[in-house]
Structure 1
């Protein structure tokens, strides 16, 4: 069993485990301080004064409460996961598991339990660790505040609009990263000269494609690299990940390229645009299904998708070739075009909205808004989607007044 996937920051083991172990180890220096500066018998301030019997009772109570609350926290998370999977989208479970509030809450409660047990074991007739006990009290207070914050966070997690907003914020960051011109260029990369094929060692989804690292490797070896896969692609073992110009015998360079293209057994990378889009689409399409029939949730998803398209529509998308600081073409990566983004998002929404006048009308409003800020390259693309929208509306056998109203929503000419 591989431990690395369990220790990443995107689950309920890595971060909580690190916090719990850190607080557990905190007990050792605190007990050492108490052994070196024993103040039993001296007048103590009120926030340190405590009898031996009360100290053991307090530590026992803190340890019991911490482990009980930890069980409650995981039970609540399980209920939230079940509700989210059934009512919103099953793929949201990966987002909940890497939520920092959930991770910190679990780690703090587990660490408080281990800390209190360790200090309790060190307590005795000859040692009453006042400073350690005071720290346990502070950890208990912090745990109470964190649990309150956790309940507030969980209550928002089952709100569809709040989750849609969070996903869309992440999607906007991912899409806007494609607009950054640093390291991008319009130069030509001669792929015919790249002879070394780097093949996948295992099957899986491409979850990380570190362009900066690949660019550094290419510059360091004075060559070029052409990547053949994109984030979210499923790759079979033995399939070509990239072709490079360095020698086949350069194992260090090959290992560095493999490390920059990460494969995992499941999708859900933080920087995977297609995965973020698929979550929003899943929520919207589920809302438009006859079994749910929640058009306003689909409208919210459409609005947030449109927000993510603002900068690509107005500023355009960068090309596939990346250049180093000297302007030399070093890296080619499969990119997303503006047409790809439109097709991935608007086509499924339009097709699912057939016969739904409310949703068709809102898609028209979104297209109209995007057209008002679009550059010359994007306007024809928006016109094509508007034409497809009218055709879809007509195929749903609407009354003539509804179709006329939809046409009037569009302020631009459709040839």
Structure 2
């Protein structure tokens, strides 16, 4: 379990190490079997196709050129990525650098270039007057051509990454996927979960941010060990050494069942976006709040962020969020995890935008439009919460001392009663 969490953390949190390194090693590993095939098939003494025929000097020159070009391009790719993304993070949001490092195009480009470099060096090492591995050389040429195409794709991806609307859309898509996982997927009843039997605390053995809670492993553990587990931390929380991570219904057995519970809750030195709705919400909010600041004054970027946050709220307000009790395969309640209520989700997204938009009639009016759209698809409980936000929006508008027509326009915008 712990190895699986570490591998997932390596791929997702340290993307410019795990994924590019894996691709690089896989391409490099191709050198050994292909060189062996070339040594077994006496291709140099037989008539070879014209596209494989090559002299020793040309082969060594070609491989050297490919190796030097790919390592130079790899350095250039990293330089471009760091410079452009640093500028973008300064203008949009600093925490976007973590997301950029997990971008698949960046990862694949670095991996292919690094792998082509090592592969070409390996083939060059065995190429000489007595042995010309034509098949291996042909593959090196094909990898070089593919690297050129990948670099072109990389440049296209970078140009899109520094476009703020594209970034907002990409972040919001990830947020929607995270939120949708919480929607209407409850399979347990909180009343059947015996919290009174949870008398043993499982404490953290290090400080760090909660990045992954492996619910599947905890459910299997609960079924196998016939125990109940209540997780007391949520993704994104910072946990201190010795702080309770969970409560279980069996006595503390050190590194036994309680140790497995501890391993299912991954702690990392910094907070990432893995299974962390709050982190993704805060990135969009950070972009919007920076856009609404007097130094930037880009209201339409904030409008775009508000629209994308509203898109992530569609399913929660229309279908509700899941309960916090989960059952195992036999239907027995085994696991209780911290929930993210609809009220908390709405407060987290709407309040900061409304507070930062004070005095900005355009943004306040658009927030009214967002609330109105959500109200039209909301269930009864969600409508009550949206009405409260509508009243707060009207109070914020009034505190800005607007002209009468602007206030009347916002009141007409809302299809629900905002009277206190």
TM bucket normalised to smaller? over 0.9
Query: 2:180 aligns to what SS in structure 1?
Result: helix
Shift in Å, 1:17: 1.1
Measured in 1, the distance between the counterparts of 2:175 and 2:94 equals 18
Measured in 2, the distance between the counterparts of 1:59 and 1:121 equals 10
| TM-score normalised to structure 2 length | 0.95
The verdict on how the C-alpha distance between 1:130 and 1:32 changes in structure 2, with shifts beyond 3 A counting, is: same
- The match for 2:247 is 243
2:419 paired with 1:405? no
Shift in Å, 1:59: 0.6
The residue correspondences of 1:97-116 to structure 2 (distance < 5 A) are: 97-116=101-120
- Give the alignment partner of residue 161 of structure 1, picking from 155, 161, 165: 165
The residue correspondences of 1:16-415 to structure 2 (distance < 5 A) are: 16-181=20-185, 183-249=187-253, 251-415=255-419
The verdict on how the C-alpha distance between 1:302 and 1:4 changes in structure 2, with shifts beyond 3 A counting, is: closer
Query: 1:13 aligns to what SS in structure 2?
Result: helix
Tell me, yes or no, if the aligned pair for 1:208 and 1:269 is still in contact at 8 Å: no
Tell me, yes or no, if the aligned pair for 1:185 and 1:327 is still in contact at 8 Å: no
Query: 2:192 aligns to what SS in structure 1?
Result: coil
Q: Which moved more, 1:221-230 or 1:129-138?
A: 221-230
Shift in Å, 1:24: 1.4
Shift in Å, 1:227: 1.1
Measured in 2, the distance between the counterparts of 1:7 and 1:160 equals 26
Consecutive unaligned residues in structure 1, runs of 5 or more: none
Q: Which moved more, 1:161-170 or 1:174-183?
A: 174-183
Backbone CA RMSD of aligned residues:
1.6
Shift in Å, 1:325: 3.4
Across the two proteins, how many residue pairs are aligned to each other? Answer: 414
Shift in Å, 1:270: 2.0
Measured in 1, the distance between the counterparts of 2:329 and 2:41 equals 58
Measured in 1, the distance between the counterparts of 2:120 and 2:145 equals 13
* Deviations 1:301-356 (CA, angstroms, capped at 9, x unpaired): 00000000001101111222222233322111110100000100000000000000
Consecutive unaligned residues in structure 2, runs of 5 or more: 1-5
| TM-score normalised to structure 1 length | 0.96
The verdict on how the C-alpha distance between 1:186 and 1:325 changes in structure 2, with shifts beyond 3 A counting, is: farther
Measured in 2, the distance between the counterparts of 1:7 and 1:276 equals 18
